[in-house]
């Protein structure tokens, strides 16, 4: 799983933040390593120097093999809260999406009997 971290101009300590985000994503989404090819993280400070709550934003996009990408957004008062909120949302979304896909693959078709022959 490849991790790509993008930050806006208002974010400081980009290198440290990128290393931390890479480690956190790999730990948080480790069980999806077979299905997710890349995770893109976009961190931004929407108000830059202005004071105000909820101006930090984290958008995470997971690229799945052979499927459409999944994306989540989280706004918060700090980058840490925004990042962790987005990571939790992405984990739930991957759980739901991949769970449905795997469930669908495991079921028998109504057109086939237990041995794989078409019923007539």
Q: State residue 12's pLDDT score.
A: 74
Question: Does residue 68 lie in a domain region?
Answer: yes
Percentage of the chain beyond pLDDT 90 is 43
Structure tokens given for 75: 């706004």
φ/ψ (deg, to 5) at 18: -65, -45
Domain-located, residue 112: no
Q: Give me the CATH number covering residue 63.
A: 3.30.160.100
Residue 82 lies inside a defined structural domain of this protein: yes
| More confident of the two residues 60 and 13 | 60
DSSP H or E segment with residue 42: strand 36-45
Residue 62 lies in a domain: yes
Residue 116 lies in a domain: no
| Structural domain includes residue 117 | no
Quote the domain boundaries for residue 92: 1-107
> Residue 111 above 80 pLDDT?
no
Q: Which helix (H) or strand (E) holds 70?
A: strand 70-76
pLDDT at residue 115 tops 70: no
Task: Work out the pLDDT band at 52, boundaries 50, 70, 90.
Answer: low
- 119 found inside a domain: no
Asked whether residue 25 is assigned to any structural domain, the reply reads: yes
pLDDT of residue 75: 94
The number of domains in the chain is: 1
Tokens of 42: 């976009």
């Amino acid at each position: 799983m490849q991790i790509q971290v993008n930050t806006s101009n208002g974010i400081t300590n980009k290198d440290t933040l990128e290393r931390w985000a890479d480690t956190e994503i790999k730990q948080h989404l480790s069980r999806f390593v077979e299905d997710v090819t890349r995770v893109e993280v976009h961190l931004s400070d929407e108000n830059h120097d202005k004071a105000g709550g909820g101006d930090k934003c984290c958008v995470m996009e997971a690229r799945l093999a052979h499927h459409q990408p999944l994306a989540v957004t989280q706004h918060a008062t700090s980058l840490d809260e925004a990042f962790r909120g987005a990571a939790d949302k992405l984990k739930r979304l991957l759980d739901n999406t991949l769970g449905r896909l795997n469930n669908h693959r495991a079921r028998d078709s109504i057109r086939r009997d237990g041995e794989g022959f078409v019923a007539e």
